[in-house]
Structure 1
């Protein structure tokens, strides 16, 4: 789908890109794309009794928790680096 979109942009001049993209980003097209995605997903995984949806949920939760924890971990790492620069020990 992404490759199809990129190939549709090949013949478009830069100044015409917004007019070319605008119809593709309409609310109706987005709604239809989401509905088609969920129908395909249900047909491929849910109706077949596959365990893949469980894997998708577990991976999604893992990625989400990593993203949520990342700012805290970065602050902690910056604090440790600052302490190391000033010669202080790691005391919580």
Structure 2
């Protein structure tokens, strides 16, 4: 699966999956600095499908931006290989 997004505004960072994607598409990731990020939306459905493959404790490389004005709600703009999650080794 090849997912490439030129519209992302941030550099990819590594996060740990704290809570897997639920039926509503929401997931919780934790940054390397201990911050928690509540993902609620995706640039396209392929990104959601890719993150759905990840399990709790998987590490993923993700680009995100704030979703609106809410304090801790995030929109995924890209997923990349390179972290230790086998589920995302095909994602660019």
Fold shared, TM-score > 0.5 on shorter chain: no
TM range (shorter): under 0.3
Larger Rg: 1
TM-score by length of 1: 0.18
Higher relative contact order (CA 8 A, sep 6+): 2
Bigger proportion of residues as helix: 1
